[in-house]
Amino acid sequence: MDMLSRQSAPMIVTGGAGFLGSHLCERLLDLDIPVLCIDSLITGSLANIEGLLADPRFQFRKMDVSDPPEFEDARGIFNLACPASPLHYQADPIRTTMTSVRGTFNLLEVARTCGVQLLQASTSEVYGDPAIHPQPESYRGKYPHQLSGGEQQRVGVARALAADPELLLMDEPFAAVDPITRDALQVELAYIHRSTAKTIVFVTHDVEEALRLATRIAIMHEGRIAQLGSPLDILEHPASEFVSDFVGHQGVGLKLLSVRKVSDRLRPGETADGDPLHLDTSLRDALSAMTMRLTDRLPVCDAEGRKIGVIALADLVR
Ligand SMILES: NC(=O)c1ccc[n+]([C@@H]2O[C@H](COP(=O)([O-])OP(=O)(O)OC[C@H]3O[C@@H](n4cnc5c(N)ncnc54)[C@H](O)[C@@H]3O)[C@@H](O)[C@H]2O)c1
């Protein structure tokens, strides 16, 4: 490839119709660099690049980066194709992984054949602790023994899942971590469970943890199953005194709220202002969100982030 034809080659911007990508496309055109914008429009929008479409130096191609790419030439690649918001990248983890792994692999191949550089966008959460803001960049390159307990637990879960087992046995996995990290790990595990539909046998002595994570709970007493049932069954109909003592008599109302979901009490079609809660949010977390936001109604969204109704304070005590 000679330099002259390389100079007419476009800069490829994947995710170019997204938040960062659309500004980058604009900036490159300002520098008189032709742009080939690639986007599946999963979270991005043509509205973001509306003003660029008439520019002859700008081309848009609707395409998923995890599909085989067909690019003749490029002067460089900015790979920004990946939903950035947790709501979006957690909605379909398989697609997110395909985008991040196969998409990146495809674009690295393009960079290699065209002999150009690739800039890869990422989020520092992949190697850091999402609870810490802003992220120090000091996590990168560490070995597991150099990580904190919570980080090691994440690595452990990732390693276990990497082999794609039918069934996962986790024996008190979060027992040794602090409450904040434990909370974050429980949320992550619940997402993993929902999205991979793997059977997870999870051993815990923490009733709240069991009620939060389980679809079915087996309460063991002296080597036998004292009760096997859904969290709601166990709270509402304990099979014996041992089970009701084990579950605890205090705060049963709050425990019930923590096993019931927003989806059980949704008011479909109604609207409210503010950041939406997910359908799978527990009523306890909904109550907490209402208290923090000083409101008695919150919008609710589905897995794709579409607002589909509201949850109201009065519905929590029905
Ligand atoms: N916005 C920030 O503050 C920020 C900070 C650090 C890192 N990043 C990273 O930068 C990248 C872009 O962030 P953003 O805020 O512009 O997000 P965004 O969701 O607005 O943009 C991502 C774009 O990628 C497109 N896309 C997603 N999957 C695709 C696929 N498989 N094929 C083709 N296109 C696809 C989406 O439609 C969207 O237009 C992400 O990797 C994000 O993690 C963003």
Cα(103)–Cα(12) distance, rounded to whole angstroms?
Answer: 13
- b/e 240-252 (16+ beta carbons within 10 angstroms → b): eeebbebbeeeee
Predicted pLDDT at 266:
94
Ligand 1 centre and the CA of 15: distance in Å?
6
Predicted pLDDT at 269:
92
Q: What is the pTM of this model?
A: 0.52
Predicted pLDDT at 2:
44
Any ligand 1 atom below 6 A from CB of 80 = yes
* Weakly modelled stretches of the chain, pLDDT under 50: 1-4
Residue 316 is encoded by which pair of tokens? 């929590």
CB-based contacts of 192-200 (< 8 A; 24+ apart in sequence) = 192/93, 192/157, 192/161, 194/280, 195/90, 195/92, 195/93, 195/94, 196/93, 196/161, 198/161, 198/165, 198/166, 198/167, 198/168, 199/166, 199/167, 199/168, 200/167, 200/168, 200/169, 200/170
Give the Å distances, CA to CA, from 316 to 28, 62, 235, 278. Answer: 52, 44, 17, 16
- Ligand 1, from 65, 80, 96: best to mutate by most atoms within 8 Å of Cβ? 80
Find where tokens 């936001």 sit: 293
Amino acid at residue number 180? I
Q: For residue 21, which atom of ligand 1 is closest to its CA?
A: 16
Number of neighbours of residue 118 by Cβ within 10 angstroms:
19
- pLDDT tens for 215-248 read 999 999 999 999 999 998 999 899 999 999 988 8
Residue closest to 95 by CA, chosen among 113, 80, 83, 79: 83
Ligand 1 centre and the CA of 289: distance in Å?
27
2 Cβ partners below 8 Å, 6+ apart? none
Predicted pLDDT at 131:
66
